Amino acid sequence: MASTGGKSAAGRALDALGLFVVFAVLWTAAHFAPGHTGDAALVAALGFLLLAGTLLSELVEVIGLPHLTGYLAAGIVAGPHVLHLIDHQTVDRLKPVNTLALSLIALAGGAELRVETLKQRVKTLVAATITQSGLGILLVGALFYGVHSFIDFTRDLPTGAAIAVALLWGVLAIARSPSAALGVISQTRATGPLAQYTVAFVMASDVVVVILLAAGITIARPLIDPSLSFSTEAFGALGHEILGSVALGTTLGLVLTVYLRLIGRQLLVVLVALGFGATEILSYLHYDALLTFMVAGFVVQNLSKQGDKLVHAVEQAGSVVYVVFFASAGAHLNVPLLQHLWPVALILAGARVVVTVAAGRLASRLANDEPVVRRWAWAPLVSQAGFAIGISQIAAREFPSFGRGFADLAIATVAMNEIAGPILFKVALDRAGETRAPVPSLGDGTTPGESDAA
């Protein structure tokens, strides 16, 4: 990741010039050699997103924005909806990089979870989970029902079906983005009560959201189609998925522990192999990859002395992968759709932020948290990304009668949260005094290990 501060005006000017050159080269290639969508286009897109994302992150840092904002902006501008420098097919072919990034993020997140911290914050986590989930579903869902007559795909639905869609939207509203939160923490190398709370809550909340999604779909089915009866099959499948993911994650964590202790070499190769191979196997077995890798990291950290070695290896591997991951996420944002749906999306996204702030303050008061957590506990919970979009796709698949419209509105709302969330979290960490110098990026002249040693 790029380093903070310390760069002269001339250095920033060189970054801006480099960014202009990179965009100019890709623009020239896209306009004078159009139609290339093969391996050459994929390699060019990877190189561009890595360089442009890194350079733009250096520039936005001047005004205090997180590097994630630079990565996202580079992808949005170059993507198929703005400058068309990278087409849809190439963006889709970048999915393996996203798979690797998510596995590394989950591993790092699990390795940051320490039993001591969880014991200290169990009251905070329980209070935050109940208030954020309960108020999020109830209040945001109620607002959605209140404006459903202004939304194309819900305007003509009967009352029961509209309530069901509002319930599903409420579940979507409580989905967070572990990748965005952990990405900001990784960039800033933040440590302290707020960072600890963030890691514990955003990782644990994924499990809660998965359970509530299954419950929401089960309740929504008979409301949307009165001919259907209440079924508990979804809960059985959910239990199988969670237990299987935890079991495999524990096994993977023990295997990693043995490897780190006895061999400990070529960790980058091992992590890449796990990120690609293990994820495919987990998908085939219908287990949750994010939960599995999180449990694996947790096991390494808490059942061995190899946790710091694992975190350091993930930082080295992720310093490049995260840039491409978030830049490609920016390229995926459907800007024309956001322009069409922005009024309703803005209302729903704004209401979600208000509810998140209120629930965070209430939970911290109930748990008697320290002042910094009481003030900023809501900030890391604004971001949404792939997990929320995945929920919308599941809803779309389960309810095809309105699913396409539901997914489109979700994408528009998530886009707003994806852009604003990391900025708000970075501000919160800065104000809390928990940020430190990040891991150096390409061209800094140091390695992550050297930076840590310093």
Q: What is the pLDDT of residues 84-112, one digit of tens each?
A: 888 888 887 877 777 787 788 778 777 87
In this predicted model, which residue has the larger pLDDT, 33 or 313?
A: 313
Residue type, 9: A
Q: Given pLDDT bands bounded at 50, 70 and 90, which one contains residue 169?
A: very high
Query: Does the pLDDT value for residue 442 go beyond 50?
Result: no
Q: Given pLDDT bands bounded at 50, 70 and 90, which one contains residue 451?
A: very low
What tokens were used for 20? 């202009």
What tokens were used for 137? 């579903």
Neighbours of 396 (CB within 10 A): 17
| Percentage of the chain modeled with pLDDT above 90 | 14
Radius of gyration of the chain (CA): 22
pLDDT in tens, 5-38: 456 788 888 888 888 888 888 888 777 766 556 6
pTM of the model: 0.70
Cβ-contact 257, 303 below 8 angstroms:
yes
What was the pLDDT predicted at 3? 43
Neighbours of 264 (CB within 10 A): 12
What was the pLDDT predicted at 419? 81
- How far apart CA 291 and CA 417 sit, in angstroms, is 23
Cβ-contact 384, 352 below 8 angstroms:
no
Closest to 306 measured CA to CA, from 107, 448, 111: 111
Q: Given pLDDT bands bounded at 50, 70 and 90, which one contains residue 67?
A: confident
pLDDT in tens, 372-419: 888 999 999 998 876 787 778 778 878 888 887 888 888 788 878 888
Cβ-contact 373, 408 below 8 angstroms:
no
